Structure 1
């Protein structure tokens, strides 16, 4: 197990280094932040001093080494716009995005697994066919359109739920949480539902396909012949075998929910990282853009590592691959 972890950790570090190259190259090739930092009408002396202060006059390889040294020390630079450490700005917005993403994935998993199991075990039933038809809509409908329709129906027409914002929050261990208040929960329902629909459809279809294939395997037929109860066959024998691909997909999809919650956060005015990164792109705030991208990369790598470890617990044979 220790050798397996060392291999995965080495691969994770290599991936981080490669991504640091890609992020640096991509971000620093975009626009000229000097146009944002100072007035274009400023004289050449002020422009030259500003360029030298931020190191933009250095060769790209020197700038990259400074950038890499900052990453190793947790220093992503100061925001050009807010004049605050970029990592601190991201950290202020991260709890709101994580809260939204965790709630969306919880909805997708809690509803997706049982619905997918039912659709796979009883594929000819009318409710099962309805579940699969609804999952197609979950895949097909654009997130922004669904969000607007949710606001129109539940906020404008029915007036049941608020259309935007985070609502009332409470501070727990220095972190603002909205799901611990009634008002916060009301504000969380619509954006979390909007963000969960695509993932819910994915888990339903993945679970259905997995359970239908597994129930045809020889060990399931043998368990039936031995007189094992159907519920035990599903939970103990079938479900455990289909959990490996499902856990892998859930892990990766959680990372994508955090990284690409921009549309939902914008529609519902949710004060998370998505809105911050859009503003940073518009103003060429490079330190914030880099901090966001590297945080997302690190999160994906950490999730992949966690999924690998969890899969080895479900199937120990994977440790030797």
Structure 2
């Protein structure tokens, strides 16, 4: 186990270093932030002063070396627009994004696993056809269109739910969250549902496929021969077996919800890191864009490691040390 952890940590450091180099060069080689920050009537001397203060007057390799040295000390740069440490801006917005992703994945799992089990246990039935048709729609409909339809139906036509913002937040165990107030919950429902629809369709199809592949296996027949009830067979033996691939996919999907919830956060004006990224790209706020991408890569690395550990817990046949 120790060898596995050390090996994965070294791999993670290599991935993080390569990502930092690619992202920095890709972001800093495009556009000129000075054009966005300096008034059109600024003199050449004023322009040169601003570029020098931002470090834009130096060659790209020198800028990257400075970035690496600062990053090793926990400094990922200072926002050109907000004049604050970029990592502080991201960490300040991250709780809102984590909250949205958490609620979305809970919705996807709470609905997707039961529906997938139902479809898998009744193949080629009307129930199966209805559930699978709904999952196809979940895969096919564009995320931005779903968001606009949700706003039109539940905010504009029915007036049941607010369409933008995070609403009033409260604290639960010292953590500020929208889940602590009714107003916050009302603001959270639409963006969380919009973000969950694609993942819900994915969980349904994975669960159904797992059930269809597991039910004909010998251990299920043996469990029936022992006199176990069908309910116990499904909820204990079959569900435990299909959870292994589900954990793998869901672990990565949590990362994608955090990293790629940009469209949902933009449509619903949700104050998370996705909206911060879009605003920073539009303003060429390079330090924030680079810090965002590095934070996201770090989250994926942590999730990968967590999934590997859960593998060995859910299935004793999987040996982390041997499979690494």
* TM-score normalised by the chain length of structure 1: 0.95
Q: What pairs up with 1:22-33 in 2 under 5 angstroms?
A: 22-33=22-33
In 2, Cα distance between equivalents of 1:36 and 1:141: 36
Cα distance, 1:293 vs structure 2: 0.9
Cα distance, 1:75 vs structure 2: 0.7
> Do the aligned residues in 2 keep the contact of 1:9 with 1:305 (CA within 8 Å)?
no
The 1:175/1:237 distance shift into structure 2, 3 A limit, reads closer
> Do the aligned residues in 2 keep the contact of 1:33 with 1:284 (CA within 8 Å)?
yes
Is 1:140 paired with 2:137?
no
2:10 is matched with 10
1:236 is matched with 236
Structure 2: which 5+ residue stretches go unaligned? none
Which shifted more, 245-254 or 122-131? Answer: 122-131
In 2, Cα distance between equivalents of 1:8 and 1:32: 38
The 1:172/1:117 distance shift into structure 2, 3 A limit, reads closer
Q: What pairs up with 1:265-276 in 2 under 5 angstroms?
A: 265-276=265-276
Cα distance, 1:172 vs structure 2: 5.1
1:179 is matched with 179
> Do the aligned residues in 1 keep the contact of 2:36 with 2:283 (CA within 8 Å)?
yes
Which shifted more, 166-175 or 283-292? Answer: 166-175
SS in 1 for 2:319: helix
Q: What pairs up with 1:148-227 in 2 under 5 angstroms?
A: 148-171=148-171, 175-227=175-227
Is 1:285 paired with 2:285?
yes
Tell me the number of residue pairs that the alignment of Structure 1 and Structure 2 aligns.
321
1:314 is matched with 314
Q: What pairs up with 1:57-136 in 2 under 5 angstroms?
A: 57-136=57-136
> Do the aligned residues in 1 keep the contact of 2:96 with 2:177 (CA within 8 Å)?
yes
Q: CA RMSD in A?
A: 1.6
SS in 2 for 1:179: helix
Which shifted more, 236-245 or 135-144? Answer: 236-245
> Do the aligned residues in 2 keep the contact of 1:77 with 1:85 (CA within 8 Å)?
yes
User: For residues 54-77 of structure 1, what are the alpha-carbon distances to aligned partners after superposition, in whole Å with 9 as ceiling and x for unaligned?
Assistant: 333333222212111222222111
Structure 1: which 5+ residue stretches go unaligned? none
User: For residues 120-173 of structure 1, what are the alpha-carbon distances to aligned partners after superposition, in whole Å with 9 as ceiling and x for unaligned?
Assistant: 111133222211110011011111111111111111111111111111112457
Cα distance, 1:28 vs structure 2: 0.9
* TM-score normalised by the chain length of structure 2: 0.94
SS in 2 for 1:75: coil
In 2, Cα distance between equivalents of 1:213 and 1:84: 53
